[in-house]
Amino acid sequence: MKRFYFALMAISVMGAVMPKAAEPLSVLFITGVDTHGWGVHDHNPSTAALSESLQKAMGEAVQIKVVRNSWPTEDDFSKADVCVVYSDGWGRSVIKGAERTGQIERFMNGGKGVLRIHWATGSDPADNKPHRALFGGNMENGYSVHSTLWHQKFALGEHPITSGMKPFELVDECYFFMHWWDKERTGVADILSAKPGPTFKAGSVTPKARESLQRDEAQTVAWAFTRPEGGRAFSYTGGHFHWDWANDNARKMILNAITWAGGREVPEDGVNSPRPTAERLLTFMTEAQKKKNPGWTAEALQPLLEQLNQPGEKIDWRRPPFK
């Protein structure tokens, strides 16, 4: 009898010290069609770079599905913890119309997360109000500043998404002067901000945005939003150039944001991934589309990717040194 009792105790103790393995984080990437010129708005190649980086960083702790140039099924959403949308916006937004916006709302109501990258941060005008409520802020025509490349010296906010990140610089088309969901920006946390400067010039700037520029105010270009009704959102208005995903801080920010929005704890030093090589970034381009390579080679590109990661360095990809 004693032996039977001790055997039961041993099984009980063994069970107590053998917790159930955590379920893998399930990530659904949604891409829009690739538009613009070489290396610009390349949603499919850039998603390939980010998803591969996430897989290498997390291994068996993540499950990834990529839905290219189309909208996921209800089954895809049911299996995902977080979805990442990388696409054009406004009239070209993939989250367009009451049906898709409602699907995203139900997804977030279930405590799940959504990321938007670059123009995906701006909705079709008919969807402006629901997008503000879903994502905390929205890039809107006639309100926000857009379609202008400028030099960002990013300041980092205090948030799990900035774990392991250091201040960095890019030349990018970061939209700013968002239309926030309420005046107090309730639940919104700055992740990246930068000052365009009072002499900043853009093709179209509203009076309110111009006043903000003249006051030399820092502009939010990436933010996190904890939604009152449930779910987490992250938006980054940069991501115009495919090649900038070789910047270790920019890439880490997205992987950290996926982890946070998916309800997981971000490691203290962030989600680290190996830097994509020039050859790999070029391969993603050729595999995904038929844009004509204007003569870029891995040998010429690789030193620039290394330069891109040096403190105080940035690359204007419109005029790289080898062109």
The per-residue pLDDT for 148 is 93
Whether residue 306 lies inside any domain: the answer is no
User: Residue 89: helix, strand or coil by DSSP?
Assistant: coil
Bridge-based pairing of strands 150-153 and 113-117 is unpaired
**Around Cβ 24, how many Cβ atoms within 10 Å?**
14
Sequence length of the chain is 323
pLDDT for residue 6 is more than 50: no
Per-residue confidence (pLDDT) for residue 242, from 0 to 100: 98
- Band of the pLDDT at 18, cuts 50, 70, 90? very low
- Please tell me the predicted confidence (pLDDT) of residue 317: 96
Provide the pLDDT confidence category of residue 184 given band limits of 50, 70 and 90: very high
Kindly report, residue by residue over 221-250, the tens digit of the pLDDT: 999 999 999 999 999 999 999 999 999 999
Return the pLDDT at 9: 39
Number of neighbouring beta carbons within 10 Å of residue 144? 22
pLDDT at 323: 65
Alpha-carbon span 41 to 26, nearest angstrom: 25
Any domain includes 300: no
Condensed to tens digits (0 to 9), the pLDDT of residues 243-295 reads 999 999 999 999 999 999 999 999 999 999 999 999 999 999 998 777 999 99
Question: Which of the four pLDDT bands, split at 50, 70 and 90, describes residue 16?
Answer: very low
For residue 19, pLDDT over 80 is answered with no
In the chain, % of residues over pLDDT 70: 93
Crossing angle for the helix pair 98-109 and 128-135, to the nearest 10 degrees: 20
Average pLDDT of 164-192? 97
How many domains does the chain contain in total? 1
pLDDT in tens, 39-84: 999 999 999 999 999 999 999 999 999 999 999 999 999 999 999 9
Strand partners, 131: none
Is the pLDDT score of 85 beyond 70? yes
pLDDT for 13 equals 36
Answer whether residue 154 is part of any domain.
Answer: yes
Do the domain assignments include residue 279? no
- Contacts of 126 by beta carbon, 8 Å cutoff, 6+ apart: 97
pLDDT-derived band at 198, boundaries 50, 70, 90: confident
With left for phi above 0 and alpha for psi between -120 and 50, is residue 147 left, alpha or beta?
left
Q: Which residue has the higher pLDDT, 5 or 148?
A: 148
Q: Which residues of 54-63 are buried (b: 16+ CB within 10 A; e: fewer)?
A: bbebbeeebb
Domain ranges, residue 218: 25-261
For residue 248, what is the domain's CATH number? Answer: 3.40.50.880
- Report pLDDT for 3: 46
HSE, side-chain direction, 13 A CA sphere, residue 180: 17
Q: What is the pLDDT of residue 235?
A: 99
Confidence at residue 151, expressed as pLDDT on a 0 to 100 scale: 94
pTM: 0.93
Domain assignment present for 292: no
Cα 73 to Cα 296: distance, rounded to the nearest angstrom = 37
Render 104-170 in DSSP notation, one character per residue: HHHHHHTT-EEEEEGGGGS--GGGHHHHHHHHSEE--TTTSB-S--EEEEPEEPSSGGGTT----EE
**What's the chain's average pLDDT?**
92
Tracing tokens 């509203």 back to the chain, one arrives at 206
Is position 286 within any domain?
no
Q: How many CA atoms lie within 13 A of 186 on its CB side?
A: 8
Tell me how far apart the 2 most distant CA atoms of the chain are, in Å: 86
What is the predicted pLDDT for the residue at 204? Answer: 77
The bridge status of strand 219-226 relative to strand 232-236 is antiparallel
Check whether 119 has a pLDDT greater than 90. yes
pLDDT of res. 201: 83
Q: Would residue 255 count as lying in a domain?
A: yes
Report yes or no on 267 lying in a domain. Answer: no
